[in-house]
Amino acid sequence: MSPVSSHKNPRVEVLIHQALPKTLTYLLPEGQAAPRGTLVSVPLGKKKGFGVVLGLSNENIDEAKLKPIEAPLELPPLKNALLDFIMWVAEYTLSSPGNVLAMALGGQSVLAAPKPRKKKEETETLISPEKHPLSPAQEVAANQLVEDVKKHHFAVTLLDGVTGSGKTETYCEAIEAAMAAGRQALVMLPEIALTTQLVGRLAKRFGFQPALWHSGLTPATRRDTWKAVAEGKAKLVVGARSALFLPYADLGVIVVDEEHDGSYKQEDGVIYHARDMAVVRGKMEKIPVVLSSATPSLETVLNMRAKKYQHVHLPERHGQAVLPRIHLVDLRKEQMPRGGWISPTLQNAIRECLQRGEQSLLFLNRRGYAPLTLCRSCGYRFACPQCTAWLVEHRDGGKHRLVCHHCGTAELYPRSCRECKKENTLAACGPGVERLKEEAGKLFPNARIAVMASDTQEHLAALHQTIAAMEAGQIDILIGTQIVAKGYHFPGLTLVGVIDGDLGLQGGDLRAAEHTFQLLAQVAGRSGRVDVHGRVYIQTVQPQHAVMQNLAQYDRDRLVETLIREREKFAMPPYARLATVTLSATDPAAGKEIAKKLAANIPLQADVEVLGPAPAPMAMLRGRFRLRFLVKTAKATKIQEFIRNWLSLVKIPHTTRVSVDIDPQNFS
């Protein structure tokens, strides 16, 4: 390789923000400086591309074949710690570094030159911060978090406490300490829908509006926020998982709220777990990371026990609030109403609640009216033509449709059976939240009932309205999916009814019991205000199940013990490592062919076991057929190295997509 000096013009190595197999080399025009981290626009074929300069290049390419970079962008350069983080994430997830860079750059709107626009009037008014006194337990916990922020070193702390124990106030102290030291703070949330309530609280606490980062921002706001973060002007950022990749000028602390939440796992594109990557970023930035949860994940608990993570515990609910009492409703012993799902026991509880003028919440993790439609005449079940999934009946908004929750395919509700063509033979099977609303409306005709089910962007405004109405006491019975379980606090809510406590326990998912416990414990935590005992009714057909028993007794630790022993016994994570390699193709034969070749080329390695190929549980998704290998290795094995090496042995045509999921959470 020739030394750099032998080239007439200096050349630079640029990482393009697209999935390219490698970095590209460009000439640096005379008199121009582009040190590592500089964001540049470059010619890319006939188009324009964007990228980041990684350094001088000494690649030996004929100068005539090289193009010069166009110009440095008018954006602050990316810091070394962020570049290292991008490379690390790409390496760990077996993704293209360009795709990870794209997340850090926040999309095209950040890179494109800003359109001239009228400067918005500064509406931001500073209010005086409102700080509530901490309880002794909060004070002890906060002191430890603040200590780490002041030391400005890497440390991970589990902030552990039941719902209402005051975790937010506690981590606010760490945020305040970071800002006092002139640094920035990041609070990550599992769902953007959750930001409203928390942002309101943080704004009150600190006296200014935190910066928001999620997929729903307008292009102009995206660019402004990205710049403000890079220039250190945004002191406090609240965001979804993508906020982790922003170019903080000087980050001082990361808080991962509801750290156990499954939504931290991104399942497409770059497949990564934002909680785990937050710990990595904290390590690279040399700053503390706070993981906050009432029901921490097994992985976090084990890291804490291994003394890799610190632990601070908030024992009781802040103020005089008392934990709700949990009742298991044994559905085998109830006289269930015909075509209904609210048991007499739960009905009575709701009635009492209404009489006292208090609010209740009915939880059912199923959107729509009914999860399955079948023909009473021939037994035909309506399935999505693109996916291995039933179509879900929706009646909301006056539109009667069948919808696939996986690919979004929607059709008008048919008049006749697809199969036998008979009319008026279709029957709705099972309840969704809309059907539950219908039932509750018949049982309690005078109650004000609302549904909160959407977790999608377009319904965000409606969601915020429902939250506000609930807070204002304008709703008597709220019916919701998992979205209601996530961190909302409704002071007037005293009763929670879980319609189908067993729903999450079906299917052989590794984490089914853990996730069911977490979800139900979170839902249960919604109930109970400061001066009233909250009550929770969980309807179940298996009240003897460990999850139900431990829930009823608030014995999280015992369930965790059981699960840890199980994982150890069957050598499952974190006692081993897992990855899935999923092939998908529109032509099933072509996919099978590649899978066969891969199966014939599995490298022999004593500490690695490869199972498959087998059809993925969702054997078809968005019209593509999916085959899957499961890779299981010893804990110390470099699973990425094994997979990279294996995949390099077979030439895979572009018609077959390969996606690798390291540490999979969802096996669908």
Question: Using CB under 5 A as the criterion, which residues of the chain lie in contact with Zn ion when the complex forms?
Answer: 375, 377-378, 380, 384, 386-387, 404, 406-407, 409, 417, 419-420
Beta carbon nearer to Zn ion, 112 or 427 = 427
Buried/exposed code over 94-115 (b: 16+ C-beta within 10 A; e: otherwise)? bbbbbbbbbbbbbbebbbeeee
Beta carbon nearer to Zn ion, 378 or 541 = 378
- How far apart CA 297 and CA 261 sit, in angstroms, is 8
- How far apart CA 276 and CA 253 sit, in angstroms, is 15
Beta carbon nearer to Zn ion, 351 or 622 = 622
Amino acid identity for residue 341 in this structure = W
Beta carbon nearer to Zn ion, 229 or 417 = 417
Beta carbon nearer to Zn ion, 36 or 422 = 422
Beta carbon nearer to Zn ion, 60 or 456 = 456
Closest distance between Zn ion and the C-beta of residue 374, in Å? Answer: 8
Alpha helices in 337-451 (DSSP H): 344-355, 433-443
Closest distance between Zn ion and the C-beta of residue 405, in Å? Answer: 8
Closest distance between Zn ion and the C-beta of residue 402, in Å? Answer: 11
- Give backbone dihedrals phi and psi of 342, rounded to 5 degrees, phi first: -100, 115
Closest distance between Zn ion and the C-beta of residue 626, in Å? Answer: 13
Closest distance between Zn ion and the C-beta of residue 366, in Å? Answer: 16
Beta carbon nearer to Zn ion, 495 or 621 = 621
Closest distance between Zn ion and the C-beta of residue 384, in Å? Answer: 3
Closest distance between Zn ion and the C-beta of residue 414, in Å? Answer: 10
Closest distance between Zn ion and the C-beta of residue 503, in Å? Answer: 21
Does the CA dihedral 113-40-93-285 come out positive or negative? negative
Residue 407 CB neighbour total at 10 angstroms: 17
Closest distance between Zn ion and the C-beta of residue 464, in Å? Answer: 29
Beta carbon nearer to Zn ion, 391 or 499 = 391
Structure tokens, 582: 């999923």
493-498 and 359-363 beta bridge pairing: parallel
Beta carbon nearer to Zn ion, 196 or 377 = 377
What DSSP line would sit under 360-391, residue for residue? EEEE----SSBSEEEETTT--B-B-SSSSSBP
Beta carbon nearer to Zn ion, 179 or 383 = 383
With tokens 């390695």, the residue in question is: 605
Closest distance between Zn ion and the C-beta of residue 426, in Å? Answer: 8
Helix or strand or coil: residue 110?
helix
Element (H, E) at 567: helix 556-569
- How far apart CA 429 and CA 339 sit, in angstroms, is 10
Beta carbon nearer to Zn ion, 349 or 402 = 402
Closest distance between Zn ion and the C-beta of residue 404, in Å? Answer: 3
- How far apart CA 559 and CA 472 sit, in angstroms, is 37
Beta carbon nearer to Zn ion, 404 or 513 = 404
251-257 and 288-293 beta bridge pairing: parallel
Closest distance between Zn ion and the C-beta of residue 388, in Å? Answer: 9
Closest distance between Zn ion and the C-beta of residue 618, in Å? Answer: 9
Closest distance between Zn ion and the C-beta of residue 477, in Å? Answer: 32
Beta carbon nearer to Zn ion, 420 or 611 = 420
Sheet strands (E) in 521-623: 535-540, 576-585, 608-621
- How far apart CA 173 and CA 288 sit, in angstroms, is 13
What DSSP line would sit under 111-174, residue for residue? HSPPPP-PPPP----------PPPPHHHHHHHHHHHHHHHHT--EEEEEEE-TTS-HHHHHHHH
Residue 325 CB neighbour total at 10 angstroms: 15
Buried/exposed code over 142-154 (b: 16+ C-beta within 10 A; e: otherwise)? bebbbebbeeeee
Nearest CA-CA partner of 201 in 227, 225, 181, 175 = 175
Query: How far from the centroid of its chain's Cα atoms is residue 335's Cα?
Result: 39
Where does residue 283 rank: exposed (0-12), middle (13-18), buried (19+ CB within 10 A)?
A: middle
Beta carbon nearer to Zn ion, 378 or 611 = 378
Beta carbon nearer to Zn ion, 356 or 418 = 418
Does the CA dihedral 112-117-119-120 come out positive or negative? negative
493-498 and 477-480 beta bridge pairing: unpaired
* C-alpha dist (Å) from residue 233 to 79, 227, 241: 16, 8, 21
Query: How far from the centroid of its chain's Cα atoms is residue 119's Cα?
Result: 34
Closest distance between Zn ion and the C-beta of residue 392, in Å? Answer: 10
